[in-house]
A = this chain, B = another copy of it.
Amino acid sequence: MESLNSCIREKANPKQINECRIKITASEASFTQLSAILSLAGNELRLKILYLLEQEKELCPCDLSDILGMSIPAISQHLRKLKDGHIISFRKEGQTIFYTLKQEHLELLRPFFKLIDQVNLVAERA
């Protein structure tokens, strides 16, 4: 259903619309990848996990569960998503598994952590 709902406004600019279509198509893969990462960071609990991993270098599920007041399985399942998204990696030490942020997407994530530290996001209401 490509353009079943064509914009038929008098003032619609077909050239503009076409150029936009081309741009979007060209970056399709980027949109998919970036939105996947943002949606991982877009969960409050996962954002906290990422923040903590940045601050503490590495943490185990048990620590995170303790800090965040969430059950171990809940934490573990979030960690799996982050791992599947290539945002974190881990090392084993005995029976403990330490998770760390991967360097890869740190450039993207760091501004978020900075914002959190500033604790000054504008709180606006309707």
Q: A interface vs B, CB < 8 Å?
A: 1-3, 5-9, 11-12, 16-17, 20-21, 23-24, 26-27, 29-44, 47-48, 51-52, 55-56, 60, 62-63, 65-69, 71-72, 86, 96, 104, 108, 111-112, 115-117, 119-124
* Complex alpha-carbon distance, A76 and B112, angstroms: 28
Q: Is the CB of A44 within 8 A of B35?
A: yes
Q: Determine how close the nearest CB of chain B comes to the CB of A76; give it in whole angstroms.
A: 12
Q: Give the residue of B32, B47, B67, B69 whose beta carbon is less than 8 angstroms from that of A1.
A: B69
Main secondary structure of the interface of A (DSSP, over half): helix
Do residues A115 and B108 form an inter-chain contact, with CB atoms below 8 A? yes
Given contacts A20-B55, A27-B119, contact A43 B39 (CB under 8 A): yes
